[in-house]
Amino acid sequence: MGSLDDTNFTSDSPILNEFKPLDPEEFRKQAYQTVDFIVDYYKNIEKYPVLSQVEPGYLRNHLPNTAPNEPEPFESILKDVQKEIIPGMTNWLSPNFFAFFPATVSTAAFMGEMLCTSFNSVGFNWLASPAATELEIVVMDWLAAMLKLPKSFMFSGSGGGVIQGTTSEAILCTLVAARDRALERIGEDNIGKLVVYGSDQTHSTFAKACKIAGILSCNVRSLHTTTDTYFSLSPTFVRATIEADVAAGFVPIYLCLTVGTTSSNAVDPIDQFADMASSHGIWLHVDAAYAGSACICPEFRHYLDGVERADSLSLSPHKWFLTYLDCCCLWVKNPSLLVRALSTNPEYLKNKPSESNSVVDYKDWQVGTGRKFRSLRLWLVLRSYGVVNLQSHIRSDVQMAKMFEGFARADPRFEIVVPRRFALVCFRLNPNADSEPSSIELMNRKLLDWVNSTGRLYMTHSIVGGVYMLRFAVGATLTEDSHVIAAWKLIKEGADALLAG
């Protein structure tokens, strides 16, 4: 490999015309090899530590300092993926991954993503990729119907949906729409008066979105939740806070509710907030990133009760709908508010369909301009599996979580910290009724470190109401009963060792 300084080209340097970056037969050959590589990785995934055991900086010393001047063979790159990259992976696809919320996958979604990539269409407006825009419209309405959302969220009604990358973008876009609606009324220079509401359990991305959107940090109300409501927002408390804010001259604009919080799967009761939101002109957003998917099952649908009175809803199929990253579905009742806040109209993108207002130009529903054909992934998942299999998939994960919960309840040394709602079990080791909180926390930290350091499973923790707890999130696509049983055995083993030591 030569060094970069060897490249003393001038404008008269020869052009190597033989360079063909996309030869179809070469593409086929390498793609087959890559598929085989991925299949091997998936077949062997249980052999790798779930949580990577490398040290910070491990990779830099193994790779050259500069890019190669000359091409390298594909085979040696694949070998390096095996030798240098996989050891540094925390394997999210492992059936023994129980951390955060799992990010789920499927054969159908992978095929959808390959097709999306292959077209490489940049669907900023309808004309730039009619199929990408129109399929997104179709699948967003399909999913809305599966969730029994009202017509007011659907293109076939008066609303509409858009695929964002992640919840962060969904919240940011709706927040900016809410902000601008208020500023149009009270004047742009009153941005300092705007207040927004969430709970201390709302995902951290809400505070970040507020910061990005220029909401003063002192005007972001992160309302306290307690164990009495299992960490869901108290409507009484929210109402009182809003009224105090209004009395003090603030302008409330946005309330972010969560269906299935990250720490403990708390659910804010949407219907109890709808009146106060509408009477104060507050944009009511429901973040159902994780648990929203469960609401395609009738027995979970009640967690969305009241959503018909919200202004927007977001749900991330990459969390529980097998779609791979990144895919966050956002429905809004009033798309024109999004468009008013986010549209651009440069000359170089002007075209007749857009000017006729007969089409959706999704660039005006999101932060960026360019966008991929993400709906293909969701379309392939919905068609390949059908609603029945997706429901079954949700139920099977919940069933495994119930099984784990049963194990923890049956062992008197453990306790369940908050009731399980979906497929997340929040528990801790607490063998002695009279232990100091700090010593219980220390014990659980040690248990978590020990378990994760084995590489045989990966769990994470959180703290709610001051209580340090372990989170066992069932849902990785390959997880089966046997993995949950083995995980519990390992956790017990850790507890045995810890209590004996």
Residues 255, 241: contact at Cβ < 8 Å?
no
Helix and strand numbers, DSSP H then E, in the chain: 14, 11
Burial 435-458 (b: 16+ CB within 10 A, else e): eeeeebbebbebbbebbbebbbbb
Among 43, 247, 412, 482, binds its own copies (CB under 8 A): 43
Q: Under the criterion CB under 8 A, does residue 467 sit at the interface with its own copies?
A: no
Of residues 298-337, those binding its own copies (CB under 8 A)? 298-299, 318, 322, 324-326
Q: Under the criterion CB under 8 A, does residue 267 sit at the interface with its own copies?
A: no
SS3 content of the chain, % helix, strand, coil (to 5): 50, 15, 40
Closer residue to its own copies (CB): 128 or 257: 128
Number of residues that bind its own copies (CB under 8 A): 177
Of residues 335-354, those binding its own copies (CB under 8 A)? 341-342, 344-350, 353
Query: Which residues are 467's β-sheet partners?
Result: 464
Query: What does the block give as tokens for 193?
Result: 């008066």
Q: Under the criterion CB under 8 A, does residue 486 sit at the interface with its own copies?
A: no
Report how far residue 296's alpha carbon sits from residue 394's, in angstroms, rounded to the nearest whole number: 9
- 52-60, 231-239, 280-288, 329-337 -> range binding its own copies (CB under 8 A): 52-60
- 29-37, 243-251, 307-315, 416-424 -> range binding its own copies (CB under 8 A): 29-37
List Cβ neighbours of 111 (8 Å cut-off, separation of 6 or more).
Answer: 380
List Cβ neighbours of 118 (8 Å cut-off, separation of 6 or more).
Answer: none
Q: Is 111 exposed, middle or buried (0-12, 13-18, 19+ CB in 10 A)?
A: middle
Closer residue to its own copies (CB): 43 or 47: 43
- 65-73, 244-252, 307-315, 411-419 -> range binding its own copies (CB under 8 A): 65-73
Among 163, 179, 430, 441, binds its own copies (CB under 8 A): 179
Q: Under the criterion CB under 8 A, does residue 479 sit at the interface with its own copies?
A: no
Among 32, 243, 437, 496, binds its own copies (CB under 8 A): 32
- 305-313, 363-371, 428-436, 483-491 -> range binding its own copies (CB under 8 A): 363-371
The position carrying tokens 């890559």 is: 34
Report how far residue 37's alpha carbon sits from residue 40's, in angstroms, rounded to the nearest whole number: 5
Closer residue to its own copies (CB): 43 or 434: 43
Least spacing, CB of residue 436 vs its own copies, in Å: 20
Q: Under the criterion CB under 8 A, does residue 367 sit at the interface with its own copies?
A: yes
Closer residue to its own copies (CB): 414 or 468: 468
Among 149, 162, 163, 176, binds its own copies (CB under 8 A): 176
Among 208, 224, 409, 489, binds its own copies (CB under 8 A): 208
Report how far residue 244's alpha carbon sits from residue 209's, in angstroms, rounded to the nearest whole number: 24
Among 223, 239, 297, 435, binds its own copies (CB under 8 A): 297
Q: What is the 3-state secondary structure (H, E, C) of 70-103?
A: CCCCHHHHHHHHHHHHHHHCCCCCCCCECCCCCC
Query: Which residues are 329's β-sheet partners?
Result: 163, 315
Q: Under the criterion CB under 8 A, does residue 188 sit at the interface with its own copies?
A: yes
Report how far residue 337's alpha carbon sits from residue 196's, in angstroms, rounded to the nearest whole number: 18
Among 181, 221, 285, 393, binds its own copies (CB under 8 A): 393
> 260 by DSSP, 3-state: which?
coil
Query: Which residues are 461's β-sheet partners?
Result: 470
Closer residue to its own copies (CB): 23 or 275: 23
Of residues 400-459, those binding its own copies (CB under 8 A)? none
Residues 477, 93: contact at Cβ < 8 Å?
yes
Of residues 125-164, those binding its own copies (CB under 8 A)? 126-132, 134-135, 137-139, 141-143, 145-146, 148, 156
Among 244, 463, 497, 499, binds its own copies (CB under 8 A): 463
- 78-86, 242-250, 273-281, 483-491 -> range binding its own copies (CB under 8 A): 78-86
Least spacing, CB of residue 57 vs its own copies, in Å: 7
The candidate with the shortest Cα–Cα distance to 461, out of 450, 500, 482, is: 450
Of residues 209-238, those binding its own copies (CB under 8 A)? 211-218
